[in-house]
Structure 1
């Protein structure tokens, strides 16, 4: 792993529609005693380090599939049995296994794996949506698929896995109607009803949370499962608005987009939209689990109006108000 590029090196490439993934494996134990290698991937930008299995301490009343906790750079870190959560039977011995330590959404977690392979640098255009293989719902844990060396590498929805194992940290607990910092009066909801926001995220789980939050405040919502689908929809809106001589705001008033997505990532989507006269001033908010200061600076440089990290879903409505109406709503 010594040839792993730094996060800064990766981030300087933002907007080029490329990413780096770490390929790792779980070795499935079959009933006849043979084994089968299962291929998975994670964005390098979410990985702090890959280590040998550390000594862990049992945590009282822990969630299922949480092996224990360990110290990672002075941070108390849960160790999660990824194979157990995925329902993949693997050998129980931890000898010669590894742990991927992730760092995103202001959280550190460790995931037990059987083996680590290599880093692949690929274009988001080569990353396929899982809906090409199956009808992905909110419970699906695969957000994308990469074909490499005749294998299918499944890119996992680690936000969903963590939310399932530790519900207390999940954005699902947020309810905009109970948030005293957000104006949800009848008159404010009425104003929002006239506005439409396009929500773009490859995770059905996260996309549903964003949609429900904005819709509960009154906004109309349309959605896209990746940057490619969003760009196609927005291009079609542009064509119809020009053809019929109406404002683009008849179709969409703002965009909330993830960064990591199949076909076209969020950074490249912003870059492409800002090159089009129709979308030069359209409010765009980036909502991502890897929104570091460097990534935020890059998003703003490419033309995004603002950024939020995924735990901050409570800021979503007030930010949307600010950019859609030019000011926070009050009565």
Structure 2
């Protein structure tokens, strides 16, 4: 898909809608957010440089317009981990995707079409399934086909751990004074993140950095319900909401309610323009920054830039080192 075509399908921010591209691995329909897709190209084996002694699913690096990108065979990888794809395509294609400020290629058996869906139509996988299939963030039924939404970040993280959110490494964070830690402990933070792994790691990092009054939610809808509870509590007590809520951190891609919609509802529907909302997502790039600004987000950081996220939080919370 060329850049111009991609721009034409971008949706208005904060409508709780997204575009997914449906593709196939064997007979299994899968989907990803179109905003991660740069283009689709034919698979040219002659442009591939094989890297010895790597995982069978890592085909090597693909030469594309003078630069190289890693190429992952999704069929091989998913067959190794969780799916049993059937059928083999005679004309495989490569989806070139960009997220977390990195470009990767994914070999698939074919591409069907783009669908506009509502995040509320995306059903989270059952918890017992999610334990075994963290590579999928949910599923959506379109014309009788159950399309699994693929978590590309998780899959790339299995090959390149530095590309995803992990617990802090030595030297990643600047020294934090006792004064800053005490200030952070008084702040009441809500966080929405649908990935079990990222949600757990991010919560651990923030709590270790002093944000002890942190509440976590599995999606934007659950987080917004909590904001409404705090709103009613503040009104009953005759307080401003800021007595009960200091800041919201949210992913963008989430079932039920996405982060852009969550932000818009906090800022516009409820009128809480003074409550900082920071979006933390692998989708952050210049076009997405425009969308974040359009819904009133106070800041944004790309996964896995945890130090940047904490700096933004401190800035809007008035934390002084």
| TM-score normalized by the length of structure 2 | 0.89
Shift of the alpha carbon at 1:118?
A: 0.9
Q: Given the alignment of the two structures, is residue 26 of structure 1 paired with residue 25 of structure 2, yes or no?
A: yes
Shift of the alpha carbon at 1:281?
A: 0.9
The partner residue of 1:52 within 19, 42, 59 is: 42
The SS at the match of 2:90 is coil
Shift of the alpha carbon at 1:107?
A: 0.9
8 Å Cα contact 1:23/1:118 also seen in 2: yes
The partner residue of 2:156 within 162, 177, 181 is: 162
The SS at the match of 1:86 is helix
Distance 2:141 2:130 in 1: 18
Aligned partner of 1:129 in structure 2 is 124
* Structure 1, gaps ≥5 residues long: 28-36
Distance 1:127 1:75 in 2: 36
Aligned partner of 1:65 in structure 2 is 57
8 Å Cα contact 2:164/2:303 also seen in 1: no
Q: Given the alignment of the two structures, is residue 231 of structure 1 paired with residue 236 of structure 2, yes or no?
A: no
Aligned partner of 1:33 in structure 2 is none
Q: Given the alignment of the two structures, is residue 185 of structure 1 paired with residue 184 of structure 2, yes or no?
A: no
Shift of the alpha carbon at 1:321?
A: 0.7
Distance 2:315 2:6 in 1: 31
Distance 2:267 2:33 in 1: 26
Q: Given the alignment of the two structures, is residue 17 of structure 1 paired with residue 16 of structure 2, yes or no?
A: yes
8 Å Cα contact 1:58/1:67 also seen in 2: yes
Q: Deviations over 1:132-181 (max 9, x none)?
A: x7463596111121111112111111111101111233332633x64352
The SS at the match of 1:128 is coil
Aligned partner of 2:105 in structure 1 is 110
Shift of the alpha carbon at 1:75?
A: 3.1
Distance 2:248 2:259 in 1: 11
8 Å Cα contact 2:167/2:205 also seen in 1: no
The SS at the match of 1:111 is strand
Shift of the alpha carbon at 1:90?
A: 4.3
8 Å Cα contact 1:214/1:316 also seen in 2: no
Aligned partner of 1:31 in structure 2 is none
Distance 1:324 1:216 in 2: 17
Aligned partner of 1:32 in structure 2 is none
How is 1:243-262 mapped onto 2 (pairs within 5 angstroms)? 243-262=236-255
The SS at the match of 1:112 is strand
Distance 2:179 2:61 in 1: 48
Shift of the alpha carbon at 1:186?
A: 2.9
Q: Deviations over 1:207-240 (max 9, x none)?
A: 2232222112010321122221111111111112
Shift of the alpha carbon at 1:305?
A: 0.5
8 Å Cα contact 1:200/1:258 also seen in 2: yes
Q: Given the alignment of the two structures, is residue 307 of structure 1 paired with residue 300 of structure 2, yes or no?
A: yes
Aligned partner of 1:323 in structure 2 is 316
Shift of the alpha carbon at 1:43?
A: 0.7
- Comparing 209-218 with 238-247, greater Cα deviation is found at 238-247
- Comparing 88-97 with 275-284, greater Cα deviation is found at 88-97
Distance 2:85 2:132 in 1: 26
Distance 2:173 2:24 in 1: 45
| TM-score normalized by the length of structure 1 | 0.86
The partner residue of 1:95 within 83, 87, 90 is: 90
Aligned partner of 1:206 in structure 2 is 198
- C-alpha change, 1:194 and 1:63, in structure 2 (3 Å) is farther
The partner residue of 1:145 within 139, 144, 169 is: 139
The SS at the match of 2:222 is helix
